[in-house]
Amino acid sequence: MNKLSVSSLTCEYLQNPLGIDVRKPRISWQLQSDRRGTMQLAYQYQVSLTKNHFDLPLWDTGYTKCDQSLHIPYEGPELSSCTRYYYRVKVWDNFGRESDWSSVSWWETAFFEASEWKSGWITPNPEELAPESEPAFLLRKEFKLKSGIQSARIYATSAGLYELYLNGERVGVDLLTPGWTSYHKRLQYQTYDVTEQLNSSSNAIGVMLADGWYKGNLAWEGKRNTYGDTRGILLQLNVRYLDGTEEVIVTDHSWKASTGPILFSEIYHGETYDARLEQIGWCNSGFNATNWKSVVVLNSQLTNLIAQENNPVRVTETLQPITAFVTPNGDIVIDMGQNMVGRIRFKVQAPSGTNIVMKHAEVLDKEGNIYFGNLRSASQTIEYITKGEGVEEYAPAFTFQGFRYVKVEGYPLHDGALPVVNFVGEVIHSDMEQTGIFETSNPQVNQLQHNIVWGQRGNFVDVPTDCPQRDERLGWTGDAQVFIRTALFNYQGGPFFKKWLRDLKADQFEDGGVPFVIPDVLPDSESSSTAWGDAAVICPWTVYLVNGDKHLLAEQYESMKKWVEFIRQQGENEYLWNTGFQLGDWLGLDAKENSYIGATARDLIATAFYAYSARLVRDAAVVLGKAEDVRHYSELVSGIIRHFNLEFITSNGRLTSQTQTAYVLALVFDLVDGKVRERAAYELNEQVLENDYHLTTGFVGTPYLCFALSNNGYHETAVKLLLQDTYPSWLYSISKGATTIWEHWDSIKPDGSFWSDDMNSFNHYAYGAIGDWMYRVVAGLDMDESRPAYKRIRIQPRLGGAELTHVKAVYHSMYGKIVSAWTITEHEVQIEVEIPVNTSAEIILPHAKLIDIQEGGGPLTASKGILSKTQALDGVHLEAGSGVYRFNYPNVRGLGRVYTVETRLIDLLNDDCAKEILENYAPGITKPNPTANLKMKTLNELTAHKRAKIPQEKLLDLISELNQAASAQYSLR
């Protein structure tokens, strides 16, 4: 039996995508093997026009020596539109094995040219049905087909939001189609396989059409008609018969229009549905449409049409209410038990004309009443009027709400109570594949991860929105860039961000400036702030790192450059950004009274991000082989860093802005080094300690705060920050019952009152960016960034504290499943690692000794798949191939201590190999002390900056020498 196999084939990230317009689609696959250390040496990739006949393939790579299994482009004959292509893969490995062919997968193309659209845009005749009419439009057409249908596809899009029906049945399950893009430049259309829904005789197509993002209310000033003032539909049905002939049904003058039961529908405000106005059979053939109106064909463009790029929005989960109760104000309220985004579906049996109203909200106030204040002008109200004919069922079609609680009015009570069994919550978001799992021994940290995931689900509704409940729900660039690395761990967001970044590129201004929100619906004057516009650079680079998507990086490269060059043109000094409007450290807690902008100098933040984006553009130039740009941006980065130090570092090595965020950015963006870096790390740590392990950072500083601490010798402080549960902290909201991430650290204050109504979302994912640090540092699941997409993995768990005795991260990368999990007891450390086939890893087992490690129940020396072993000061470093590894070794430290530079030195005080070196630096330090407390006191004096008996800059030298001594000693044992 061959235990090498190929699985999980995808095309453009998707399994069997229906209706793409990529001329050279890229495929990826994963490998399975029963042997550790398996690597792909070569592949063969075949494409055929028939599923079961590859004898004469359309294209065959033949035996191709290559270890890549991601984003392999099709390079065969030019593809045809509206055609299905089948493909399969086989591989050869480093053990001389040849796999069987994979199972067959496929992709299907849509239209490559605008001329292939035979349809026209239609809308109800404005003389008969006003374009500004609030009710959703119904449009229909009857048609006849021949017998012998082989296949049929509908291609459809709209100006507005549409739902599609065929012969009385809904077509597909996607919601809020065609999605939200920069409509004038890029409008998605969807492809539906309707072969099984057609009859070999009479048929009828029906479309429901609402305002949606196209012409409905957007943003907080009541703005409407952002993209146009007329709804429209464009639809084409292509039918192929067994005899080889084809027939096309199009949108044209022959269609009819009316209104129906949806009297009102808005993204922010909800939906009103009068079931008495339902037109039974309106999307069936034979329906009497005598009173329906005519349609007109619009002169709308077709050149902006693109096939669906991202994952569609769908119902991904259902939740049952946990209870219904009566508030002190006498309202009947349903509690879903989870702040969710989506809709309520309910059943009801009541007399005709019964008016049921549901108002959605996120939280209760301190008196226990439902709280609507933070919705601002958004109504979030669903109204349903019964027709009175048995059991009726309803869920809104063209809106979504952010809510945990629902106030219900008018619903018939049973024995004086609301029958919650008749209500269900449908969770709605872009239907991305979940890729990440993170769990710990600490229930509050687990709840934090739960909140991060639910915050992402609620705000990834076709675009990465800032909030899902109030009159905003916009694609804020700053929120997206700070959260993207966390987002891409939790879900496969390749298609999601590919589509959004193409809109960013489309909406970017000619001078390189970037709007605050994408798609851009705000005035042009509201744009181009640092950390927000930097999404143009940070997001494509992050997608490249996580998914290895070099094609997207190349596609966005000019946009990335334009943003950096935009900054370069600001002000008089090309190496500083100290002009224009900046949002600064948004919502920083050190802000002045009545200000949203934190205390960190905005020009410091702007220049720091300028350096970071310039560095990433340089790195992208390296990846893309643009040598001249590498030189150009290398010089630019050096100049920015030099001027940053001149402008923002005093002669004594202190930052001019004494804030947590200032120190964080200087450290994580590598803007300082040597003594200045050491002092910056020390000052940051001191600020956190002096604030009793609380943060003061806003949107800009928070994502990087724990990285700055952990990566500069203060991991213990970072862990204590994570575990802090009093305001302000990540766990404070959990102590208040949060089930998603809040916009403000004190959205609910300790006394139960609320932050201001004007901007107080309880589902706002930005502060959930802490997840990235939890996964990569605490769990230790990271990568060597020179080998993107986790081709070379770095596993380095940071064992920590009595409150964290177990941590596990699982990530389903494009190569396969990666696991980094650790458990510590008083006496033992257990670490589980899984490395997918066709990748390798560096594994660092913290504070372990080679002679003590067991793997899989046996000595490490007998472990297969381990390519090298090295003893180092921080533990044992291993080079490993693919496979599952289970390590265990004695816990020499016990519980309750987080491993930092200082704790390493403490351990070395008890290690003979280190004493001589320590004595050279600090005579007497290794002599026995009367108590452990005195020994700790001496160590603190050794390592403290302000009382240094040993110069701080010598610490790394000390560590290096101790490392060499330890390695020499351990290798002799």
- The vertex-337 CA angle with 332 and 343, nearest 5°, equals 75
Query: Residue 528 above 70 pLDDT?
Result: yes
Count of other CB atoms within 10 angstroms of residue 573: 15
Q: Among the options 271, 716, 743, 902, which is catalytic?
A: 743
Q: Please state the rounded mean pLDDT for residues 518-545.
A: 94
- What is the per-residue pLDDT for 571? 85
- What is the per-residue pLDDT for 525? 73
The greatest distance separating any two alpha carbons of the chain, rounded to the nearest whole angstrom, comes to: 102
pLDDT digit string (tens) for 722-735? 999 999 999 999 99
Strand ranges inside 288-331, DSSP E:
293-298, 305-307, 313-319, 323-326
Query: Residue 918 above 50 pLDDT?
Result: yes
Query: Residue 954 above 80 pLDDT?
Result: no
Least confidently predicted of 326-335, 485-494, 921-930: 921-930
Active site residue 393: no
Output the average pLDDT for the chain: 92
Closest among 394, 324, 384 to 356, alpha carbons compared: 384
Strand ranges inside 125-221, DSSP E:
137-144, 149-159, 161-166, 169-170, 187-193, 202-210
Residue whose tokens read 């119902």: 315
Share of the chain above pLDDT 90, in %: 87
- What is the per-residue pLDDT for 273? 98
Count of other CB atoms within 10 angstroms of residue 103: 11
Share of the chain above pLDDT 70, in %: 91
Where does residue 4 rank: exposed (0-12), middle (13-18), buried (19+ CB within 10 A)?
buried
3-state secondary structure of 304: coil
Which of the pair, 912 or 170, is modelled with greater confidence?
Answer: 170
pLDDT digit string (tens) for 55-114? 999 999 999 999 999 999 999 999 999 999 999 999 999 999 999 999 999 999 999 999
Query: Residue 953 above 50 pLDDT?
Result: no
Where does residue 692 rank: exposed (0-12), middle (13-18), buried (19+ CB within 10 A)?
exposed
Query: Residue 937 above 60 pLDDT?
Result: no
Least confidently predicted of 135-139, 614-618, 798-802, 943-947: 943-947
Q: What is the DSSP letter of 591?
A: P
- What is the per-residue pLDDT for 421? 97
Question: Cα(783)–Cα(842) distance, rounded to whole angstroms?
Answer: 9
- Could you give the count of Cα atoms lying within 13 Å of 476 in the half-sphere of its Cβ? 21
pTM of the complete model = 0.93
Question: Cα(215)–Cα(227) distance, rounded to whole angstroms?
Answer: 6
pLDDT digit string (tens) for 625-656? 999 999 999 999 999 999 999 999 998 889 99
Which sign, positive or negative, has the C-alpha torsion 871, 873, 879, 882? positive
Amino acid at 757: D
Q: Among the options 12, 163, 472, 683, which is catalytic?
A: 472
pLDDT digit string (tens) for 473-482? 999 999 999 9
Q: Please state the rounded mean pLDDT for residues 310-332.
A: 98
pLDDT digit string (tens) for 552-591? 999 999 999 999 999 999 989 999 999 999 999 999 999 8
Helix (H) or strand (E) holding 936: helix 932-943
Asked whether the beta carbons of 824 and 800 are under 8 A apart, the reply is: no
Question: Cα(945)–Cα(954) distance, rounded to whole angstroms?
Answer: 11
Asked whether the beta carbons of 609 and 570 are under 8 A apart, the reply is: no
Provide the Cα torsion 409, 412, 418, 423; round to 10°.
-80
pLDDT digit string (tens) for 737-770? 999 999 999 999 999 999 889 899 999 999 999 9
Asked whether the beta carbons of 110 and 240 are under 8 A apart, the reply is: no
Count of other CB atoms within 10 angstroms of residue 121: 22
Question: Cα(798)–Cα(778) distance, rounded to whole angstroms?
Answer: 5
Active site residue 439: no
Question: Cα(571)–Cα(647) distance, rounded to whole angstroms?
Answer: 15
Closest among 16, 17, 41 to 31, alpha carbons compared: 41
Q: Please state the rounded mean pLDDT for residues 290-297.
A: 97
- What is the per-residue pLDDT for 909? 53
- What is the per-residue pLDDT for 526? 77
